[in-house]
Chains A and B, each alone.
Chain A
Amino acid sequence: MMQKRSATFSEWTDQRAPLVFILPAILIILLLAIFPLIISLYLSLSRFKFVKGGFSLKFIGWLNYEKLLVGSQQFHFIGSFGQLTPMEMAAIALVGLLLLWWLIRYFRQGPVTVPGLLGRLILTAGLLSLTWLVLFVLNQKGFPGTLVVTLFYVFFGVLIQFCIGLALALLCAQRIPARNFFRLVFFLPLMVTPVGIAYTFRMLVDTTKGPFAPIWEFFGWGAIAWVKDPWAARWVIVLGDSWQWTPFMFIVLLAALENQPRDQVEAAIVDGASRWQIFRDITWRAILPVSITVILIRIIEAFKIIDLPNVLTNGGPGIASESLTLHSFMAWRSLDLGGSAAVAYMLLFVSVFFSMSFINFARHRLKTA
């Protein structure tokens, strides 16, 4: 009797096994990611106040977003608007025309589906307004806010990391002695904590006491403090970020290069193809899927940057090098929890917009390639 009951009990637990295996992971993610995300949305729509023995929430609708987009925080989030020159207007018109041409081609070419059309319309609207915004704040009188600065970090950071990483991977994929040594050394920056990198780079770019001081002096730049100039500060952050993340690109691209089909390359050499032709027609094709994946991973992670701007430049001078995450943190520290959540949600929108556009674009490219 006892035996039988225990058998049925173990049968019962065994039947529940599929649930037992997946449920802890799902629950943790629900409880600590989805649940807070929904609360955050609510927070971003309300005014948060600490009162005696707790806090109070007052629903205020879109006011927090309005403040960021057109209200008192616009200078912080988007930036101060300058004046568009005719050249810049022409550039915007050009981008608009290109996007229009791309849409028309889509209509004439293939079957038009509702999701496809919707995605393309969102992409067109998003890109056009971003171009307009970036040009508007990046000219003489304008001053970019955290949104544009974050986009700057993501775009130039990922671009630099991919180019250097690919070049190094191509060099290391050759059959040369000591390449394992290089592989090990190039890997190290990835391990260093970003906070440490921030301070180290602050030491390195110091123009009077840093190691490169004689060089700056030689060029007569000794008096410039890099972290005091808006653009220099932003570039220093991009440099620090690239120092850390180029190894990631390098390692993954190197693995992809070593997996590429060798017989094709050999056949091409026998046929007398030039090195550039081999790279373009064989190697690049072989590593394209992996390149797209690493770029996507880096785009997603780069949007979250906070350590470097917070420690290296403290977001300064002024707000010049603040990223969106840092902006949100600053708002939180001044107890504006609603505003902080609104910034976080704007970051979420921008990040999802770019990752999704990139995924769809890449999928399209891979299909046609």
Chain B
Amino acid sequence: MSERKSLYQILFEPKTIDAVAPGSKVVSYLILGLWTFICLFPLYWLAVTSLKLPIHVADGPNYLPGIDFKPSLHAWKYIFVDLGNDTLRPYLNTVLVSLASSVIAVLVGSMGGYALSRISYSPKLGSVLLFILIMILMIVMIVRFGVPWQLAIASGLALFLVLVSTVGRRFRRALHNNDIAFFMISQRILPPVAVVIPIYVLFQNFGLLDTHGALVITYVAVNLPIVVWLMRDFFDTIPVDLEESAALDGASRYRIFFTIVLPLSKPGLAATFLLVLILSWNEYLLALFLSTADAQTLPLLIAAQNATRGPQWWYMSVLIIIMIAPVIAIALVLQRFITRGLLIGAVKG
């Protein structure tokens, strides 16, 4: 039994299955430590820069406040006191828009997800194709021939109803829940820039540009597929027994959904809500197109800091810090929930 071990074996071969050999432990910690540094250093540099005077930035790299340079709160004072309202308004806009859009998206999306999980749909392929055809026809009528949009939509709807009840029934092929769900999630492939220009023109016609409402509706539309997809997977994991017995007792579907299913799915709702909230908090492209001054959100404010006098790193750092502080705080406290949100989507999808 007294077998001599080589140095490599001592260092890198574990004694038991669960143990980690000392050599691999050192290597692991080195790599993990390096990546910790990579993750945290940019955040540290932001914090340090926000405490610098312009001269400290221009001097070259100064690393440690209090040693390399004397920290100053001038940038914080400028952003919060001198520019008070100009900072506060985008901040409130962002809070308002992301909260409102996430709440609506989660509500509508979980209804859709519940429906796709429990009720079986089979819309006829024929009527779906017909609908798309009529929609194209309507659009051509409106933009090409200048037909008033109310008239076009009304006549399009009427035509659709007539055709569906007559011709539509001839087609046998039907779509199923999986097709609908796939259709929804495939909306993520759609680059937002391909749809934002017509939305811009549409909102301009209705005088909705640069309002909170416009941003909220668009964010809801962008995030809805994710919510439907995640919540559908989550509802699939909840046993149906409870709902069935409630249905036997005569409860309506609405009642079952709001009083039984939703309370049961709090973890899934929380995970989805956080994910969507963070996505809309950081959203940039749609805000860039749809808001200019009144509804300006924080990412736009930060992006606009590239002033004519050159980038003023100290002010920018303050803005970035106050923008990421809430999400970082959420991440530190509720990381488990957000992770779960990412996992429902990826592991099961």
Contact = CB atoms under 8 A, between A and B. Distances in A.
Interface of A: 10, 13-14, 17-18, 20-22, 24-26, 28-29, 31-40, 42-43, 55, 57, 59, 164, 167-168, 171-172, 174-176, 182-204, 208-214, 243, 247-248, 251-252, 255-256, 259, 265-266, 269, 290, 293-294, 297, 300-301, 303-304, 306-307, 310-311, 314, 324-325, 328-329, 332, 337, 340-341, 343-345, 347-348, 351-352, 355
Contacts of A252: 342-343, 346-347
Interface stretch (B1-9, B162-170, B184-192): B184-192
B18 A171 contact: no
Contact of A213 (B61, B121, B282): B61
B115 to A, nearest CB: 4
A301 B185 CA distance: 13
Contacts of B35: 164, 168, 182, 186
13 contacts: A17-B253, A25-B111, A33-B187, A176-B28, A188-B328, A195-B299, A196-B302, A198-B303, A212-B61, A252-B343, A300-B189, A311-B306, A340-B193
B225 A29 contact: yes
Contacts of A214: 61
Interface stretch (B77-85, B138-146, B263-271): B138-146
Given A38-B136, A195-B284, A196-B320, A21 B193 contact: no
Q: Please classify the interface of chain A as helix (H, G, I), strand (E, B), loop, or mixed, using the class held by over half of its residues.
A: helix
Contact of A42 (B61, B139, B188, B349): B139
Given A17-B119, A176-B20, A183-B335, 18 more contacts: A20-B254, A21-B257, A32-B221, A36-B196, A37-B195, A38-B135, A39-B198, A171-B28, A187-B339, A188-B331, A203-B313, A209-B61, A252-B347, A255-B339, A304-B192, A306-B284, A311-B306, A351-B189
B220 interface: yes
A199 B321 CA distance: 12
B197 A191 contact: no
Contact of A38 (B115, B116, B139, B346): B139
A355 B189 contact: yes
Given A21-B119, A210-B61, A344 B193 contact: yes
Residue of A42, A212, A324, A351 with most partner-chain B CB within 10 A: A42
Interface in B217-234: 217-218, 220-221, 224-225, 228
B199 interface: yes
B21 to A, nearest CB: 10
B311 A36 contact: no
B273 interface: no
Interface string B289-311: 10000000011001101100001
Contacts of B43: 188, 192
A57 B143 contact: yes
Nearest to A301: B188
Contacts of A20: 254
Contacts of A13: 252, 254
Nearest to B338: A187
Given A10-B252, A40-B198, A311-B303, A184 B282 contact: no
A32 B32 contact: no
A199 B108 contact: no
Contacts of A172: 32
| 4 tightest Cβ-Cβ pairs between the two chains A and B | A25-B112, A32-B221, A21-B115, A36-B198
A209 B195 contact: no
A25 B313 contact: no
Contacts of B288: 329
Interface string B173-212: 0000000100010011111111111110110000000000
Nearest to B328: A191
Kindly name the residue among B40, B116, B254 whose own CB sees the greatest number of chain A CB atoms within 10 A.
B254
A176 B320 CA distance: 34
B102 interface: no
B335 A184 contact: yes
Contacts of A212: 61
